[in-house]
Structures are given as C-alpha cells and as structure tokens.
C-alpha cells in the first residue's frame, strides 16, 4: 500500500512523518510520500497558469490531483489531502474540495482530512504529549482550550509552551516562515510523544480512522 500526502505546510509534514513511523510494524508493509506546499492559498477562479502554479495547496490542488491520479493507477494507493479549515465552515469546505476532484474526474482513492481549526488542534488533542514535550507548559492556558474549537489554535499553543506566549513569539518571529519553523518544532517535539488512539481531536480521529482503513 502506498499513501500519497498533500499537506499545506512543513510543520504538518513533520507531524505526518512521525505518525506514519508510529504505524510501521502495526500494519503490513506500506510506503508513503509527502508533498508539502507553501501555505493553503485559495481556490482558483479562471485556472490560469498564474493561479495554478503558486506552490499553494488549494491553488494547485486540481493539477496535483490529476497528476497523482495518473501516476498511481494500477497500484494499491490512496491520496490524503490534509488542510486546515481555519474559519471556514467545515462541511461546506469539504464539498468545495470534493468538487475539485469531481471536476477533474479523479478516480484514485482520495480522502480530504480537515484539521479543525488548525493542525495544532491535533497536537492539543493529546495533552499528555504536550506536557511530556513541554513540562513547563501552562496548565491555565491548556485548561481553556475547547477541542477543535475556532479560537486561534496555534496562538493558544504558543501561549502554553512558548516563553512569553504568542505575543512574544510574533515579535521574535515576525515572518510567516519563522513562525512556520517554530510550528515545525512543536510538531516534532509533541508528535514524538503522541498516542494515536488517545487523541481527543475528532478531526484527528477521522484522519487516523480513514488512514488505518486503507493500511
């Protein structure tokens, strides 16, 4: 079995690699590959080259789905597209994603996994892992989190684990790239301790459920 991932940023890719490594030995032999993008972008309107060759996941979604549909024909494979819904309404967002696949007549097995609100929600879904990775994490902050709530998830995680919180982090890391590097560190450190069957995030459990069905 081969799993092809499409992921919107590097921090999510770090986490997915760790999770797949945890699954090795539990299931028959499988392989995986991760295509990470430079952010989520937006759905195209006119499908011009300028719109569809941006390095952003939603802009390039149709092109890459079509390519993987051709590349993976004839083998046991599935494509997993992992995106944050941010402030989007989840059901409507899923319909938009599925429509892209339908418009391109994608026949390969594919799954859209939407992290609600952000992939940091999957990290926060395993509080034990957060506290093992960051023993000084602020319980007062973690206690306020409502799982898979729309609350500025990465900022909340920063408030819990970063010295000075999200406000200080934004001063220390003023660019999107620098913040992304910090998110990748959280993903690696917390992901190392995550237990897949104990995560409280419904969107994470959907992802793991769909993945294990195929493995």
Convert the pLDDT of each residue in 134-164 to its tens digit: 999 999 999 999 999 999 999 999 999 999 9
Q: What is the pLDDT of residue 44?
A: 80
Share of the chain above pLDDT 90, in %: 89
14 vs 19: CA distance, rounded Å: 9
Kindly state the average pLDDT of the residues 171-191: 96
Record the tokens describing residue 95, joined without a space. 């319909």
Beta-bridge mates of residue 192: none
Closest CA to 100 of 34, 39, 44: 44
Using the predicted structure, report yes or no on whether residue 45 has a pLDDT greater than 80. Answer: no
- CA 142 to each of CA 126, 128, 145, 158: distance values in angstroms, whole numbers, following the listed order: 11, 11, 6, 10
Record the tokens describing residue 193, joined without a space. 């301790």
Closest CA to 190 of 127, 143, 146, 148: 127
How many domains does the chain divide into? 1
Share of the chain above pLDDT 70, in %: 96
Half-sphere exposure at residue 183, Cβ-oriented, CA atoms within 13 angstroms: 23
Q: What is the pLDDT of residue 54?
A: 78
Kindly state the average pLDDT of the residues 61-74: 96
Kindly state the average pLDDT of the residues 175-179: 93
Average pLDDT, the chain: 94
In degrees, rounded to 5, the angle at the alpha carbon of residue 139 between the alpha carbons of residues 149 and 170 is 65
Q: Which DSSP state fits 196?
A: G
Kindly state the average pLDDT of the residues 52-80: 93
At residue 52 the predicted structure's pLDDT band, cuts being 50, 70 and 90, is low
Residues 105-123 pLDDT 10s: 999 999 999 999 999 999 9
Provide the domain limits for residue 193.
Answer: 1-215
Number of H helices, E strands in the chain: 11, 4
Are the C-beta atoms of 39 and 9 separated by less than 8 Å? yes
Q: What is the pLDDT of residue 83?
A: 96
pTM of this structure: 0.94
Residues 6+ apart with CB under 8 A from 120: 153, 154, 156, 157, 183, 186
Kindly state the average pLDDT of the residues 50-55: 70
Using the predicted structure, report yes or no on whether residue 47 has a pLDDT greater than 80. Answer: no
């Amino acid at each position: 079995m081969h799993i092809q991932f499409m992921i919107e940023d590097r921090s999510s890719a770090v986490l997915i690699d760790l999770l797949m490594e945890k699954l090795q030995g539990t299931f028959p032999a499988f392989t995986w590959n991760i295509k990470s993008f430079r952010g989520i972008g937006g759905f195209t309107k006119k499908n011009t080259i300028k719109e569809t060759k941006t390095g952003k996941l939603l802009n390039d979604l149709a092109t890459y789905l079509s390519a993987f549909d051709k590349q993976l024909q004839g083998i046991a494979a599935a494509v997993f597209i992992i995106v944050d819904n941010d402030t989007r309404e989840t059901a409507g967002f899923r319909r938009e994603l599925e429509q892209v696949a339908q418009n391109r007549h994608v026949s390969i097995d594919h799954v859209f996994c939407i992290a609600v609100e952000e992939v940091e929600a999957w990290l926060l879904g395993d509080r034990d892992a957060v506290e093992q990775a960051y023993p000084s994490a602020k319980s007062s902050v973690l206690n306020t989190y409502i799982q898979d709530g729309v609350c500025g998830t990465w900022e909340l995680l920063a408030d819990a684990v970063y010295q000075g919180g999200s406000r200080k982090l934004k001063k220390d890391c003023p660019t999107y790239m620098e913040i992304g590097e910090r998110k990748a560190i959280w993903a690696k450190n917390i992901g190392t301790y995550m237990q897949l069957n104990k995560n409280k995030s419904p969107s994470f459990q959907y992802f793991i459920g769909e993945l294990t069905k195929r493995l």
